[in-house]
Amino acid sequence: MALAPGFHDVPPGMVATVVTHLEMRAPPPARPGPLPAGIALTRIAAPTPDWYRDLYTRVGRDWLWFSRLQMPEEELAAILSDPDVEIWALEKDGRAEGLLELDFRQQGACELAFFGLTGALIGKGAGRFLMSRAIASAWARPISRFHVHTCTLDSPGALAFYRRSGFTPMRQQIEIAADPRLTDDLPRDAGSHIPLFDG
């Protein structure tokens, strides 16, 4: 059912966001970014759920990433070990500080499922390098569509970054979900720029 124009109340304990879906149908012109000094890019084959959730939380805590924190262990393990899912990490001083997840499970398509950096790498050119690798890796397989979505809880620069990288917005949706700070998936001080309404 379509929403009527105007304001709509979000129930206490929930959080609302506008989700923008983007895609590219062909590889864009290259925007090469060098690998910053002291950083290594590593493909992580079948990472453990604990390793993955640690990096996922450190990257996504400020933006209230929660879907993989709520996912049952067996379901997450199956995704992480699937040969059509690629997990890459940017490592600094031996610790993963950037996450790239490419999902090829839909025939002919690749989803940029998760992409982000911890504070240790933000502002150092690592994001541009990682996106260049994401685009090259995605189009190295026989796909006709590379897609991603972002939302208004994400970094304020995320949408513009995806557009500069060659993605085109295709549609928007409203998502309402239980606030992960109230379900014990994230601490109450996560995403401090997002109001917490616990009724």
Give yes or no for residue 19 having a pLDDT over 90. Answer: yes
Could you tell me whether strands 14-24 and 168-178 are parallel, antiparallel, or unpaired per DSSP bridges? antiparallel
Which DSSP category does 46 fall into? S
Q: Are 138 and 170 in contact (CB under 8 A)?
A: no
Residue 92: pLDDT band by 50, 70, 90 thresholds?
Answer: very high
Give the integer Cα–Cα distance in Å for 57 and 60.
Answer: 5
Q: Tell me: the pLDDT tens digits for 22-54?
A: 999 999 998 877 888 899 999 999 999 999 999
Burial environment of residue 60 by CB neighbours within 10 A (0 to 12, 13 to 18, 19 or more): buried
**Rounded percentage of the chain residues whose pLDDT exceeds 70:** 99
Helix (H) or strand (E) holding 172: strand 168-178
Residue 1: pLDDT band by 50, 70, 90 thresholds?
Answer: low
Give the integer Cα–Cα distance in Å for 58 and 96.
Answer: 10
Alpha helix stretches (DSSP H) within the chain: 49-60, 67-70, 73-80, 126-139, 158-164
Give yes or no for residue 197 having a pLDDT over 70. Answer: yes
Burial environment of residue 87 by CB neighbours within 10 A (0 to 12, 13 to 18, 19 or more): buried
What is the value of pTM for the model shown?
Answer: 0.94
Residue 198: pLDDT band by 50, 70, 90 thresholds?
Answer: confident
Q: Tell me: the pLDDT tens digits for 60-86?
A: 999 999 999 999 999 999 999 999 999
**Res 4: pLDDT:** 86
Q: How far apart are the first and last CA of the chain?
A: 26
Please give the average per-residue pLDDT across 107-111, as a whole number: 98
Q: How many residues does the chain have?
A: 199
**Does residue 124 or residue 118 have the better pLDDT?**
118
Across the chain, mean pLDDT equals 94
Domains by residue range for the chain, with CATH? 14-178 (3.40.630.30)
Please give the average per-residue pLDDT across 126-136, as a whole number: 95
Alpha helix stretches (DSSP H) within 94-145: 126-139
Angle at CA of residue 64, ends 146 and 80, nearest 5°: 50
16 — phi, psi (to 5°)?
A: -115, 150
